[in-house]
Structures are given as C-alpha cells and as structure tokens.
Amino acid sequence: MAADPRFHPQAGPQTLAAILAASGATSTGDPARRFRGVAPLQEAGPEEVSFLDNRRYLPALKASRAGAVVLSEAMAADAPEGCLPLLSAAPYLAFARIAALFHPNPTPRPGIHPSAVVAADARIGEGTEIGPLAVIGAGAEIGPGCLIGPHAVVGDGVVLGAGCRILAHASISHALCGARVTLHPGARVGQEGYGFAVAPDGRFETMPQLGIVRLMDDVEIGANACVDRGSQSDTVLGPGTRLDNLVQIGHNVQTGRGCVIVAQAGISGSTTLGNFVTVAAQAGLTGHLTVGDKARIGAQSGVMNDIPAGQDVFGSPSLPVKEAFRAIATLRRLAEKTRGEKR
C-alpha cells in the first residue's frame, strides 16, 4: 500500500518528467503524465511507481498493476501491458530518489518552542526549528535550516552545520559537525570514552577524555547508537558514513568516507577504517587496528588483526572469507566423522 499520509506527508502528484529528472532513469512515456506516489509491486496501482531490482520478483512484476516500474533494460520486456518501464542501471538507487521526491524529509518550521531552553549566547541559524523541551547549551552554534527535536540536547560549544537534524531525545556534546548531519532518536555523541587506569589498590581512575567528535558532512547516526569523544586525539566519522541503530564507536576511532556500520557492531578505541568499509551486524573490532579501503567484515565477526584494503573477512576470530568457510566445512566433516564412529 502507499505510504500512510498521517506519518509520511506527500509532495505530489509528480509528472513523469520530474520523476525522470530526480532519478536519472529514462523512459519513452509522456513527460506530462502524472503519478501520485510509490508502492510495492504487489500493491501499486495505475497511478503509482514501483521498482524491480531482483529477478526473484519477476512473477510479482508480471502480475503488478503499477503505472510505472523502475528496472534494468534487461528486464524491461517483462513489464506487463500498461506498465511503463523506467530504465535505470541502478533501479534501487533510482527508486530511492523517486520515493524521496514524493516523500521528502519534513522541512523545519522555523522558531523556538516556548518550553525549549536556549542559552543566551547560543547562535541559531535562520530557518531552524527548536522543538519542545530541547536544550541548547552556552556558545553552541546551530547552522541554518536545522531541526532540533523534542527533548534533544545540544551541548555547550557544539557546532552544527547547515541542515542538521538532531531528533527526539538525542544528545550531542564536545562535537563539531558538518552539514546535513543526522542523529536519530536516542543517539548519543560526544560522551566520555571508556578509558581508565588501575591504581595500586585496584581502584579504577578515569583517564580524562580530552578530545572531541568530528562528524563530517552527511553523517547519519542511528537510534540509540553511541559515539564517544576522543581521549587525547579526536573521534572522526568521515563524509557520508552511516551508523545503524545500536552501534558503539569508541574513543579516537576514525572512519573514512562512506563507511557503513550495521546494528550492534562495536569498534574499539583508536581503530581506523579506510574509505567505504562495511562492518556488518554484531561484528566487533578490537582497538588500534587498521582496516583498509573497501574491506568488508561479516556479521558477528571478531576482528583482532589489521585487514588489508578490499579484503572480505568472516568468523571469530575473523579470517579471509574463503579460509573461514573452508574451516567451517572441515569442522562439519570432522563432526560427521565423529558421529559415524560413535555409531
């Protein structure tokens, strides 16, 4: 079914010309033809756009009533009669852009809610919305067009670039941010990192965490994820890096451009990730490691050694993928042999 307008306000209808311009897809259809939204193949109607990015769903395409469907040229012939093919080399990306055309992020409603607490010397950019019970600390700088949600906290001296979104109950301190940074609900950025020394009597004494967090342009941090500030140097998330919900980033971690770190993964202090690294769900990385560009770390992997650029690893302790699966196969054969001998 189409998105519920109670929760997803719609910017439509849209012409085919606007859809093609937004998505980069091509079509021979009438540029003035209008569509009212997006929907899955199984539920889309004649005024809605859908997409196909996997041949597994060809039966759904052939039965679909969608008015238009984004797909690759190789699958265009499978579109049913009356369904307009929108051709793209990257159908999923094109459809994401179409969906964003119909359902853009809500624009801030400029103003400060009466219940918000804003320090007298905080600088608030033009067009920014500050929601109920939000707190903006002393010396904070909020760029133009930002959205500060209800109960969100922007700490003393924090800098947010243009178009940032700090959503409900998120908090950020000790941080400098670029443009279009998003903290989803409950995210925590800039809190003290996990560092302590052990005294002769066994007591733990906290090591002062004197660095900050630097979030570059277009970083997104998922709900209830945590990014600790640096201890002596800084914690840095590179441009376009995405953290899923419940991710933990330790002090002094640095990521390159476009890294993807998935749910419940944890990266220990002073580890460095190159550009476009993927860390899958529940993976754990020990501290002081270096992970090269475009490396991929499989789900639930335990990484204890550096990973060279472009390598895929899996398992705990992690191994190159082929080695890991050979090891698993060997264990299975040994287990089967043992069961046979017991019989």
Domain ranges in the chain with CATH number 2.160.10.10: 170-343
Mutual orientation of helices 91-102 and 16-23 as an angle, nearest 10°? 130
**Alpha carbon separation from 234 to 68, 103, 138, 224 (Å, rounded):** 48, 36, 22, 21
The structure tokens 């897809």 sit at 25
> 170-343: which CATH number, 3.40.50.2300, 2.160.10.10, 1.10.10.10, 3.30.365.10?
2.160.10.10
Structure token digits, residue 277: 């690294």
Contact 51, 69 (CB under 8 A): yes
CA distance 187 to 329: 40
The structure tokens 């660095």 sit at 211
Domain ranges in the chain with CATH number 3.40.1390.10: 14-102
Q: What is the pLDDT of residue 342?
A: 67
CB atoms within 10 A of CB 133: 16
Structure token digits, residue 19: 């859809």
For the segment 255-293, what is each residue's pLDDT rounded down to a tens digit?
A: 999 999 999 999 999 999 999 999 999 999 999 999 999
- Please confirm, yes or no, whether 174 is among the known catalytic residues: no
- My answer on whether omega of the bond before 317 falls inside 30° of 0, hence cis, is yes
Q: Which residue has the higher pLDDT, 171 or 4?
A: 171
Tell me the percentage of the chain whose pLDDT exceeds 70. Answer: 99
Helix (H) or strand (E) holding 149: none
The structure tokens 């009438």 sit at 30
The structure tokens 């570059």 sit at 216
CATH architecture for the domain at 14-102: 3-Layer(aba) Sandwich (3.40)
CB atoms within 10 A of CB 292: 17
Over residues 176-198, the mean pLDDT reads: 97
Is the pLDDT reported for residue 339 higher than 80?
no
Q: What is the pLDDT of residue 336?
A: 84
Q: What is the pLDDT of residue 337?
A: 81
Taking alpha carbons only, the member of 80, 99, 92, 27 closest to residue 53 is: 92
**Alpha carbon separation from 107 to 104, 146, 182, 218 (Å, rounded):** 8, 9, 14, 16
The residue annotated as part of the active site, out of 8, 113, 251, 288, is: 251
Contact 239, 220 (CB under 8 A): no
